[in-house]
């Protein structure tokens, strides 16, 4: 399974020729380095919640038109997509499949944000190897302690590095793929990722310093 990053929290999982796109949001397209046509060959699309850094309805519509890929999401996002005239399928908690991907959808609680109601948010266990908790660090996720890979928020208005590393230290994944870094300039991301790597090396956890457009890891 190859996982490629397209800025902030936009990821493409690829296995056996099937490309699964997660959360092409506004931060991904903001600077023009990523365009919808770059995802013309995706086979499936998942949107985890309504926040604009994870959902960009205008560009999502273009991607769906170019690729013909079905969109899977939760009911709150579904309401937004329905108003925008974007076809989609609502996934409830439980096991779903997209090509070779087994996806266990789990309701997760978004970390609190200043004066902002919490959205409905769906996290995923992917092929029993990857925990994608999106913007959640709730204690219930510690049930997945020791998982192969954690998709980990690294910087956000709702968390600091002590909160982030504290959660990951308890979870003890074998590896970490960092996301949610679209707020920062590259020099700052590089500096903070060096600090994260130093911390997690002590824990015996591999921190993959992935931040450049299209960078990928294979698990």
Per-residue pLDDT tens over the stretch 6-65: 999 999 999 999 999 999 999 999 999 999 999 999 999 999 999 999 999 999 999 999
Average pLDDT (193-208) is 97
Whether residue 206 has pLDDT greater than 90:
yes
What does pTM read for this prediction? 0.96
Kindly tell me if the per-residue pLDDT of 115 is higher than 90.
no
**Per-residue H/E/C for the chain:** CEEEECCCCCEEEEECCEEEEECCCHHHHCCCCCCHHHHCCCCEEECCCCCCCCCCHHHHHHHHHHHCCCEEECHHHHHHHHHCCCCCEECCCEEEEECCEEEEEEEECCCCECCECCCCEEEEEECCCEEECCCCCCHHHHHHCCCCEEEEECCECCECHHHHHHHHHHHCCCEEEEECCCCCCHHHHHHHHHHHHHHHHHHCCEECCCCCCCCEEEC
């Amino acid at each position: 399974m190859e996982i490629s990053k397209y800025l902030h929290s936009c990821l493409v999982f690829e296995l056996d020729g099937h490309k699964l796109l997660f959360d092409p949001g506004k931060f991904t397209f903001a600077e023009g380095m990523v365009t919808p046509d770059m995802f013309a060959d995706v086979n499936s699309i998942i949107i985890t919640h309504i926040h604009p850094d994870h959902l960009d309805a205008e560009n999502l519509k273009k991607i769906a038109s170019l690729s013909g890929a079905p969109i899977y999401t939760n009911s709150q996002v579904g309401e937004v997509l329905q108003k925008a005239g974007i076809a989609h399928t609502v996934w409830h908690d439980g096991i779903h499949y997209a090509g070779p991907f087994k996806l266990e959808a789990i309701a997760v609680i978004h970390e609190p944000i200043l004066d902002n109601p919490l959205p409905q948010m769906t996290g995923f266990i992917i092929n029993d190897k990857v925990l994608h908790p999106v913007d959640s660090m709730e204690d219930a996720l510690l049930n997945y302690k020791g998982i192969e890979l954690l998709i980990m928020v690294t910087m956000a208005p709702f968390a600091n590095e002590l909160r982030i590393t504290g959660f990951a230290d308890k979870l003890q994944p074998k590896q970490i793929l960092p996301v949610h870094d679209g707020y920062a300039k590259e020099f700052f991301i590089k500096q903070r990722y060096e600090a994260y790597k130093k911390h997690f090396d002590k824990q015996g956890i591999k921190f993959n310093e992935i931040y450049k457009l299209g960078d990928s890891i294979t698990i």
